[in-house]
Amino acid sequence: MTQFLFSLLIRLHQNESGQGLVEYLLVLALVAFAATAGMHSVANTINSSFSQIGQILGQYIT
């Protein structure tokens, strides 16, 4: 039984077939985190731009 567990651990240690998938998932998680972190500043910029456009249009309408 001990020999079986030892050989199983050796095979699991040598098996790297899922390593590429894990690396891609880590990169994807990093990109998603960066996009989420950057959304706040982008949203503020867009909101400011629309407010300025609204003020300019408000001057011409009234």
pLDDT at position 20:
74
pLDDT at position 44:
92
- Using DSSP's 3-state secondary structure scheme, residue 49 falls into helix
d(CA 1, CA 4): 5
* Amino acid letter, 32: A
pLDDT at position 23:
85
- Tell me how far apart the terminal alpha carbons of the chain are, to the nearest angstrom: 87
Region of 15 on the Ramachandran plot (φ > 0 left; ψ -120 to 50 alpha; else beta): beta
pLDDT at position 51:
96
Average confidence (pLDDT) per 10 residues, the chain, 62 residues: 78 69 88 89 93 93 76
